[in-house]
Chain A
Amino acid sequence: MANTGIGAAVARKEDGRFLHGRGQFVGDIKLAGMLDAAFVRSPVAHGRIVSIDVPEQFHEAVFTAKDLTGLKTIRANSGLKGFKSSEQPPLASNKVRLVGELLAVCVGGNRALAEDVVDEVFANIEELEPVTDMLSARAPDVPLVHEEWGDNVFLETNVDTGVEAALASAPVKISRRLRMSRQCMAPLEGRGVVAEWNHRTQQLVVHTATQIPHIVRTGLAECLGLDESAVRVTAPDVGGGFGYKAILLPEELVVCWLAIHLHRPVRWLEDRREALTASANAREHYYDITLCADEEGKFLALDAKVTVDAGAYSSYPFTACLEATQVASILPGPYNFPAYRCQTWSVATNKCPILPYRGVARAGVCYALESMVDLVARKINKEPHDVRLENLITPEQMPFDNIVNKHFDSGDYPECLKRAAAAIDVEGVRKRQVLGEPDGRLVGLGMGIFNEQAAHGTAVYSAWGIPMIPGYEQAFVRFTPDGGLEVRVGIQCHGQGSETTLAQVAHEILGLDIESIKIVHGDTELSPYSTGTWGSRVMVMSGGAVATACEKLCERIQLIGAHLLQAELEDTQVEDGYVKAPSGQISLIDVARTWYHRPQDLPADVDRQGLEVTAGYKLRRDDGTFSYAAHAAVLAVDPHFGTVEIIKYVVVEDGGVLINPMIVDGQILGGAAQGIGTALYEEMPFDENGQPLFSTLADYVLPGATEVPNIHIEHMETPSPYSLFGQKGIGEGGAIGSVAAVTNAVNDALCRVGAEVCETPMTPRRILTAIQDAKSQRESVGT
């Protein structure tokens, strides 16, 4: 039998239904008598609601804040000192704080009818001056998003190990202002929710496209004033999440309230316009950053002031401060810094709340830090990767506690970088650059190396002030009478292939055919409580829990087997689907049949716990695992169009022990595509009135198949000393290193004409402007 356990590139069990078009998404759920909901959304970014006028004939079909009795506001409070709380009402009642904020909900027999009603509702709003720029938002005398705060800052943080000396005396000191633009997450499937009240079970049943069914259940119960047991949340097939589906939505609350009060199932399916303009916003960082080094490029200090535009509200459960607080704790990257200072501001503006997006904070951090490393290298005339090598933590130093006490678990960062440099052929590219291109394009080479803390636990999240802190992850396993295995987990699989990888883990322990192992997830009624799928945690945490539960189950199976074989327990072992003893063997199926259907064959004092186990798992350390990778890109910039073509792309990744290398590759490829989007294409701009300017995928440019190059992936497999099999979380890494590799390559190309772009995405317009500016500067210097 081919290996289907840990390390095997098993084809994904879940793909059959997707490839046949038989996935079951929220949009596929049709319930008798179901109503569709559509929302009246605020057309202005900041204003006071004077009235919401509903024509008489539509009163039954329209609900505003005052109708939603008993519904509480969404609050996601950071535990950090000084955090200012925001209250997000499911439907705005007094003020509106962003374009697209919900004002009223309309219901109809289908979406079109509901939208017709939306058109009849008139919101009379007295406009207030909006706050749209995170930097000026902190100036005195600006309008306030939340008046009671007195300013527009959710939270300010400070880390300072003392950098003044280095700043005063460092031989090399480079400063920049770098911006990472606001982006939108664009999973294929938007958000969607269907809610109904089940009279038999006295439960609100909510089908929602979420990564975190249990957390949504807690949030819904809290805001609706229901017992948690009266809420069941199921996440059916979910078409991508990336963080956008790791929040509690006001729309979810409203739809649930309607279902309860109208006694009918109610559905809301987000359209792309709603996602882009009113919901799926992410990133938007501003770095005022200084890197100090000696003449050899050895880093002496890193000093940064970082502002994050958190938008109008603190989203549940990750809060408005997840980005900025993480930035402060990870900005030093995989390098050794003797001195570090970082001040952060999570600023409130009249824009969409920013939500966690794959590579939360880290994509921005890696972009900012790696840009600075390249600048230092350029200044001292060294190959950037040599400067990196000079400063990377070495394998001899592992495990390593860095300047902000991050505990890097394992790995050989320099080797990873060297392999990437070899694979991308740094010398070859440098030669090519000297020769120049026949078509006049400028070739650039860029790299980005990072480490990705994943599956981080309780202590880390409590230090970030997140109200929903992961503790132990649990799994329930049941050996069924026919010898199959049911595995129930509280995480949610929305593309990661966990239905396959978790089965591989169970197979590894029990030796059962993975076809007979079924992973059940995405249903609060069926699975142990879990904070869900995010933070690259599933393979480590849920994988650990599944293994632990299977081990316990294995012991019980073995005990029964030993009895049936009339052997001493110590003389038996479970292997290849059998309990084996010197006297003979018995198949696991026979063990199962005996337990369930022939209990008379078992001794009277048999262990009564049976063949069902719930077991928990926690990583040996709360710091989690640190996977890492180096991305390297070669690209060509057209100096007349400002367009970029990626010519070659390499990733060297260390994800520890790979459970399924094919699935890991898929994660890296998808993430890299997103990072290429961040670097070159994706941006959600707002005008000075706070109007989001892009509302379709024609304007909001995502990279397509032709923009994403062939990506060459190499693996290193340094086991994490802290996880069960040595595996490390890698879910987000692809989206982290890619931004830096591509942006550094663009600037490497542009430095040949003295130009530099300090902002993502590096669009044709920005690149041309930079070239133009460099030219004017040269000319003005010349005259």
Chain B
Amino acid sequence: MEYKAPSSIDEAVMLLAQANGKAHVLAGGTDLLVQIRAGFTKPTLVVDVKNILELRTISVADDGVCIGAAVTGAELGEHDAVKAAWPGLVEATELIGSTQIQGRASLGGNLCNASPAADTVPALVAASAICLIAGPNGQREAPVEQIVTGPGQTSLKNSEFVVQFQLPKKLPRSADAYLRFIPRTEMDIAVVGAGVNLTLDKKGICQQARVALGAVAPTVLLVEAGAKALIGSTLDDAALDKLRAAASAACNPIDDKRGTVEFRVDVAGVLAKRAVLIAKQRAEMN
């Protein structure tokens, strides 16, 4: 296995394009190294992207926030501007693993590892994040929800990788939130995850909403019916009940010992509702 640590996007693209055999991008390695050690994947080339500036930078501009794909959870958690604008995404990121894992784990890795239970993905989807993708044919953009196509599978072409996540400009009276359900309180993989992003008007009526669920289907679900239930309402009990029902209805979970189908479906509804309430409270304050 060869290890390369290029310092530019072009160099990384070239290395990946020229690789013969299996090549992997390495960010924090908290998924990849585990998989290599367990023998699940045997790459001939590993391209460490942590030396590429664009992937390690967070930039805040008028039209939104850009987060490098290899920025670590710890870095994101200490970034006041991002925390203020996207508290839900940051809380999702900070749920990953432990302090040690936080020092390494990245959004790019969380997304491209393509686990149905990845914590940041529902938050990214709810936030309408756009991926900037680099590849042999230059750079392109794609919404986050188009990246993962199934467990362990992405729509990225060979030698493509995610450079950064672009989050839209944050509107007044809007906020996001993420909640997950695990059997314990720490260090576990989501049985269900729910990300919500809301915009209210001055009267508290919901203008825009996005609801995304993790771990209840092969890929993260964008629950349009859930958003519909919220938009136009004051997020009253009736709207929340509709949202809860829509979220439950959207689920297509697996039945395993970590959670039966009924349990996941039920919890998904409650979780989405609670995430909405948190986002609402935040939105009312800004």
Contacts and interface: CB of A to CB of B under 8 A. Distances in A.
B257 A694 contact: yes
Contacts of B184: 681, 701, 703-704, 706-707
A698 B257 contact: no
Interface in A643-669: 643, 645
Given A699-B257, A765-B260, A704 B187 contact: yes
Contacts of A707: 184-185
Contacts of A346: none
Interface in B246-276: 257-260, 263, 266-267, 270-271
Interface residues of B, number: 17
A707 B263 CA distance: 21
Contacts of B151: none
A764 B263 contact: yes
B241 to A, nearest CB: 13
B183 interface: yes
Given A681-B183, A765-B260, A698 B189 contact: yes
Given A641-B181, A641-B267, A701-B183, A765 B259 contact: yes
A88 interface: no
Interface string A762-774: 0111001000000
Contact of A640 (B185, B188, B258, B270): B270
A694 B256 CA distance: 10
Contacts of A706: 184-186
Interface string A692-721: 011000110101111100000000000000
Interface residues of A, number: 20
A645 B181 CA distance: 14
Nearest to B263: A765
A685 interface: yes
B183 A764 contact: yes
A694 B258 CA distance: 10
B177 to A, nearest CB: 16
Contacts of B260: 765
Nearest to A700: B257
Q: Most chain-A CB neighbours within 10 Å: which of B185, B189, B260, B271?
A: B185
A643 B266 CA distance: 13
Interface string B41-59: 0000000000000000000
A765 B267 CA distance: 10
Given A641-B270, A765-B263, A704 B186 contact: yes
With most chain A CB atoms within 10 A of its CB, the pick from B257, B258, B271 is B257
B255 to A, nearest CB: 12
A641 B191 CA distance: 11
A702 to B, nearest CB: 8
Contacts of A681: 183-184
Contact of B257 (A640, A641, A693): A693
Contacts of A703: 184
Contacts of A640: 267, 270
A685 B186 contact: no
A764 B181 CA distance: 10
Contacts of B187: 704
B133 to A, nearest CB: 31
A32 to B, nearest CB: 28
Contacts of A764: 181, 183, 263, 267
A729 B79 CA distance: 53
A768 B266 contact: yes
Contacts of A768: 263, 266
A111 to B, nearest CB: 13
Contacts of A698: 188-189
Most buried by B among A707, A764, A765: A765
A764 B266 CA distance: 12
A638 to B, nearest CB: 9
Interface string A247-280: 0000000000000000000000000000000000
Contacts of B186: 704-706
B263 A685 contact: no
A698 B189 CA distance: 8
A113 to B, nearest CB: 14
A763 B263 CA distance: 11
A683 to B, nearest CB: 9
Contacts of A699: 257-258
A182 to B, nearest CB: 13
Contacts of B189: 698
A698 B257 CA distance: 11
A650 to B, nearest CB: 21
Contacts of B181: 641, 643, 764
Interface string A465-488: 000000000000000000000000
Contacts of B271: 641
Contacts of A704: 184-187
A687 to B, nearest CB: 10
Interface in B122-146: none
A337 to B, nearest CB: 38
Residue from the set A645, A694, A701 with the largest chain B CB neighbour count within 10 Å: A701
B154 to A, nearest CB: 23
A635 B260 CA distance: 25
A763 B183 contact: yes
Nearest to B260: A765
A692 B51 CA distance: 45
Interface in B149-185: 181, 183-185
Contacts of A645: 185
A640, A698, A699, A705 — most chain B CB neighbours (10 Å): A640
Nearest to B185: A706
A699 B266 CA distance: 20
Nearest to B39: A112
Contacts of A701: 183-184, 188
A685 B183 contact: no
A765 B266 CA distance: 10
A452 to B, nearest CB: 28
Nearest to B266: A768
Contacts of A765: 259-260, 263
Contacts of B258: 699
B110 to A, nearest CB: 17
A707 B182 CA distance: 12
A754 to B, nearest CB: 19
B284 to A, nearest CB: 18
B231 to A, nearest CB: 24
A674 to B, nearest CB: 15
A241 B48 CA distance: 42
A645 B263 CA distance: 19
A768 B192 CA distance: 15
A628 B197 CA distance: 54
A350 to B, nearest CB: 19
Contacts of B266: 768
Contacts of A693: 257
A641 B185 CA distance: 13
B243 to A, nearest CB: 14
Nearest to B257: A693
A548 B183 CA distance: 50
A707 B187 CA distance: 11
Interface string A743-783: 00000000000000000000111001000000000000000
6 contacts: A641-B181, A699-B257, A704-B184, A706-B186, A763-B183, A768-B266
Q: Which 6 A-B pairs have the closest CB atoms?
A: A640-B270, A706-B186, A706-B185, A765-B263, A701-B183, A693-B257
Given A703-B184, A765-B259, A768-B266, 16 more contacts: A641-B267, A641-B270, A645-B185, A681-B183, A685-B257, A698-B188, A699-B258, A701-B184, A704-B187, A705-B186, A706-B186, A707-B184, A707-B185, A764-B263, A764-B267, A765-B260
Interface of A: 640-641, 643, 645, 681, 685, 693-694, 698-699, 701, 703-707, 763-765, 768
